[in-house]
Amino acid sequence: MKRLAIIAGKGPLPGEVAMAAIAQGHEVLILPIEGQADADFSGYQTVPIRLGAINKTRSIMLEHGIQTLVMVGKVVWPSMAALRPDFDGMKLLGKMITKGDDNALRHVAAYFAEKGIEIIAVDIFLPDRKMPSGLIVGLAPDGDGEAAISLGMAVLDALGAHDVGQSIIVQNGRVIAIEAAEGSDEMIARAKPLLDAESGVGCLVKMRKTAQDTRLDMPVMGCVTIEAAAKAGLSLLAIEADTVLLADDLAAIKAACVAANMTLIGINRSTAK
Amino acid sequence: MKRLAIIAGKGPLPGEVAMAAIAQGHEVLILPIEGQADADFSGYQTVPIRLGAINKTRSIMLEHGIQTLVMVGKVVWPSMAALRPDFDGMKLLGKMITKGDDNALRHVAAYFAEKGIEIIAVDIFLPDRKMPSGLIVGLAPDGDGEAAISLGMAVLDALGAHDVGQSIIVQNGRVIAIEAAEGSDEMIARAKPLLDAESGVGCLVKMRKTAQDTRLDMPVMGCVTIEAAAKAGLSLLAIEADTVLLADDLAAIKAACVAANMTLIGINRSTAK
């Protein structure tokens, strides 16, 4: 029996990972992040944790003989005041000064690794949930749509080295919105008044940041995103294959796209110019 | 007497340009853009224009013997439906497919140039309104502030080639928000909940896009921006010297910074890495 800890953020994915991990023979300890995790973990062994309590979290894992850790579910980056870091948390946060989100997570990962706790990528437990490659559903993009995808990929490529830019909205050769700290959902919502219904296909491109470590932070896309995109006036979603995780199963994703009249295509970074 | 047309967008700058141009010996025709220009142009010769009516606008200028044109004031990019382009407008808009804002303006400039109408940069008329270089007001940025400026400049440099990214907000090594089609003011407003009051200096960096033609679209910063930045929790404004125009005179800008406890610094692209 391998003991696996699951640090659980918002949404149903942590529960699905727990089920899959048990099926794969792991003994699972769930660490729901207070104020973030919202799935039902009854029936599982759980110890709630506070996001800023880094040494407490490490101690809990060591007490439970954990050697492997997976982090899954959406985590909203809180303010320092809300974070109330403990002693080691404060030391780590000191290191994070002038660092982006990914660097922050890398420091946390290194801190756990000091005591032999290894972080693994969540997609090991959800192999069917990786975004597939190629046209998934909807009409194949025309020249306008392909140009939008290319521009979006080029801009995200230019940004990725700076630990920013997981998604972007493009229409008619214009960059309408770029995601920074606000998250994809908020970016999609604010793009609505900036998109022009008569001016060509509105396209969302979502990719892993160039330097992003998917063990620490895997980009996720699901039915909620599809519905939000349709509401904002988008009709083309270009999602990086293999590196973006689907929050819902592919049948549900396809059904949501059909209902929203949305084209979904899995893109590959290597094909970008 | 040189005849000068002023295509006037929103705000008081078009009126100030008109006064300065007359003092410099120009005979001025103001073309207020309907639904955008809001200054009082009584006492000037005016012919209101519609943004989409490109050949009509060119005809008006030719009828009035205009050979020189300046475009000044904020213009909100309307939807195609609101634009109602005329025949030449439609032809030009056809060319703009898959082009950004700057490319669109370049096509318009070329269309006017066909008939001998030259577009000149607005700062010729407002030489005192160019953002100066160096520390203008407030405490000199510390290491944290300097790091924020460097990161902001680096990301804007990476974006500029794609006709996007005139301004950015950075705090503690994180890119909080990037301006795309929404404009600086809206970006500043939405950064408020993403900034952390306890986590180091919040910094706005505003620069000309690398490929931006300042004859066609000059970035502008004024007291409104300073007040909005203070409200959002920013305390450092790094504005590109020479290429950004001040919407208010320097004394008023300085007073607004002092009132808002804001540091204002003029940066130079050449000093960026």
Q: Are residues A135 and A44 in the same domain?
A: no
Q: Are residues B143 and B267 in the same domain?
A: yes
Q: B93 vs A49, A76, A213, B72, CA distance in Å?
A: 56, 41, 42, 21
Q: Are residues A140 and A265 in the same domain?
A: yes
Of A151, A123, A131, A269, which Cα lies nearest the Cα of A210? A269
Rounded average pLDDT over A234-259: 95
Last residue of a domain, one of A105, A124, A143: A124
Q: Are residues A159 and A267 in the same domain?
A: yes
Measured CA to CA, the distance from residue A233 to residue B80 in angstroms comes to: 15
Last residue of a domain, one of A74, A90, A124: A124
Residue entry with tokens 């224009």: B49
Residue in chain A closest to B182 (alpha carbons) equals A194
User: What's residue B91's pLDDT?
Assistant: 67
The number of domains in chain A is 2
Q: Are residues B68 and B185 in the same domain?
A: no
Q: Are residues A169 and A265 in the same domain?
A: yes
Q: A33 vs A19, A72, A110, A182, B197, CA distance in Å?
A: 18, 10, 20, 20, 23
What residues of chain A lie within 8 A of the CB of B158, using their CB?
A: 158-159, 161-162
Q: pLDDT-based confidence at A78, cuts 50/70/90?
A: low
User: What's residue A93's pLDDT?
Assistant: 61
How many Å lie between the alpha carbon of B143 and the closest alpha carbon of chain A?
10
What residues of chain A lie within 8 A of the CB of B79, using their CB?
A: 196-199
| Partner B contacted by A76 (CB < 8 A) | no
Nearest to A180 among B175, B182, B198 (CB): B175
Contact A158 B158 (CB under 8 A): yes
Span A169-212, pLDDT tens digits: 999 888 999 999 888 889 999 999 888 877 789 999 999 887 77
Contact B217, B244 (CB under 8 A): no
User: What's residue A135's pLDDT?
Assistant: 97
Residue B100 scores a pLDDT above 60: no
Measured CA to CA, the distance from residue B126 to residue B21 in angstroms comes to: 9
Contact A237, A265 (CB under 8 A): yes
Span B7-61, pLDDT tens digits: 999 889 999 999 999 999 999 999 999 988 999 999 999 999 988 888 899 999 9
| Partner B contacted by A152 (CB < 8 A) | no
Residue A37 scores a pLDDT above 90: yes
Q: pLDDT-based confidence at B97, cuts 50/70/90?
A: very low
| Partner A contacted by B155 (CB < 8 A) | yes
What residues of chain B lie within 8 A of the CB of A172, using their CB?
A: 96-98
Q: pLDDT-based confidence at A109, cuts 50/70/90?
A: confident
**Going by C-beta distance under 8 Å and a sequence separation of 6 or more, which residues neighbour residue A2?**
A25, A26, A27, A67, A68
Q: pLDDT-based confidence at B80, cuts 50/70/90?
A: low
Encode chain A in three state secondary structure.
CEEEEEEECECCHHHHHHHHHHHCCEEEEEEEECCCCCCCCCCCEECCECCCCHHHHHHHHHHCCCCEEEEECECCCCCHHHHCCCHHHHHHHHHHCCCCHHHHHHHHHHHHHCCCCEECCHHHCCHHHECCCEEEECCCCCHHHHHHHHHHHHHHHHHHCCCCCCEEEEECCEEEEECCCCCHHHHHHHHHHHCCCCCCCEEEEECCCCCCCCCCCCCEECHHHHHHHHHHCCCEEEEECCCCEECCCHHHHHHHHHHHCCEEEEECHHHCC
Contact A180 B180 (CB under 8 A): no
For B196, the domain range is: 130-271
CATH assignment at residue A220? 3.40.140.80
Measured CA to CA, the distance from residue B169 to residue B131 in angstroms comes to: 19
- Please report the sign of the dihedral spanned by the C-alpha atoms of residue B256, residue B259, residue B260, residue B266: positive
Rounded average pLDDT over B212-239: 91
Q: Are residues A28 and A134 in the same domain?
A: no
**Going by C-beta distance under 8 Å and a sequence separation of 6 or more, which residues neighbour residue A24?**
A125
Contact A144 B190 (CB under 8 A): no
Residue B199 scores a pLDDT above 90: no
Q: Are residues B266 and B134 in the same domain?
A: yes
Q: pLDDT-based confidence at B95, cuts 50/70/90?
A: low
Contact A181 B175 (CB under 8 A): yes
Of B268, B256, B198, which Cα lies nearest the Cα of B231? B256
| Partner A contacted by B82 (CB < 8 A) | no
Measured CA to CA, the distance from residue A254 to residue B132 in angstroms comes to: 55
Q: Are residues A89 and A26 in the same domain?
A: yes
Contact B181 A197 (CB under 8 A): no
Q: Are residues B142 and B105 in the same domain?
A: no
Structure tokens at B215: 């004859």
Q: Are residues A181 and A97 in the same domain?
A: no
